[in-house]
């Protein structure tokens, strides 16, 4: 029984015109997607800052509630609170005041209030850290590194206010 070739005379692949049209469609798709990817990344940074800010706020409220209900609570051992019951940074000399004076004290406060899965923090220019800390007008400011320090979280130990800038 003779074998017949079914594909005799058929062309394989795309013509030059078909390839050009496919390439044009892909380019239009890329032109639409690239700006949207930037927005998606920035939205992720905003969500990260907001999430960490909310966690910091929750930590502040937990310690304040412990202070209000039982000032001798074991939760408060080794932790500094101001006269109104807001967590304040423990200064390196063991003293604590009502305001913030050093980035080291802000780092300690960050690590105390964010107990589990703490984002990395630096007082310098460590590019691999999630956040960078500075003392600004007597309160702790935590800049989000991936956003180029545009987004940040503030903590005021005078009134326990945690706020974030994600604009």
CA 33 – CA 15 distance, rounded (Å): 27
Provide the terminal-to-terminal Cα distance of the chain, rounded to the nearest Å.
Answer: 77
DSSP tag of 13: S
**What kind and span of H or E run contains 164?**
strand 161-165
Say what the pLDDT of residue 8 is: 56
Burial of residue 105, with CB atoms counted within 10 A of its CB: 0-12 exposed, 13-18 middle, 19 or more buried: buried
Say what the pLDDT of residue 16 is: 87
CA 136 – CA 153 distance, rounded (Å): 11
pLDDT digits (tens, 9 = 90+) for 120-147: 998 888 888 999 999 998 889 999 999 9
Predicted confidence (pLDDT) at residue 5 exceeds the cutoff of 70? no
pLDDT digits (tens, 9 = 90+) for 20-57: 999 999 998 888 877 777 788 889 999 999 999 999 99
pTM of the full structure: 0.75
20: which 2 tokens?
A: 């050009």
Mapped to the 3 state alphabet, what secondary structure does 115-152 carry? CCCCCCEECCCCCCCCEEEEEECCEEEEEECCCCCCCE
Q: Check if the beta carbon of residue 81 is closer than 8 Å to that of residue 92.
A: no
């Amino acid at each position: 029984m003779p074998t017949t070739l079914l594909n005799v005379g058929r062309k394989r692949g795309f013509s030059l015109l078909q390839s050009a049209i496919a390439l044009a469609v892909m380019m239009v798709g890329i032109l639409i997607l690239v700006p949207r990817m930037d927005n998606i990344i920035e939205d992720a940074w905003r969500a990260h800052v907001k999430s960490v800010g909310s966690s910091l706020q929750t930590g502040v409220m937990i310690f304040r509630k412990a202070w209000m209900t039982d000032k001798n609570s074991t939760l408060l051992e080794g932790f500094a609170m101001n006269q109104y019951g807001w967590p304040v940074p423990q200064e390196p000399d063991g003293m604590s005041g009502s305001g913030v004076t050093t980035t080291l004290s802000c780092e300690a406060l960050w690590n105390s209030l964010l107990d589990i899965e703490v984002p990395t923090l630096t007082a310098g220019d460590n590019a691999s850290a999630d956040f960078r800390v500075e003392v600004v007008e007597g309160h702790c400011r935590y800049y989000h590194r991936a956003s180029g320090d545009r987004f940040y979280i503030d903590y005021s130990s005078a009134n326990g206010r945690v706020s974030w800038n994600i604009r």
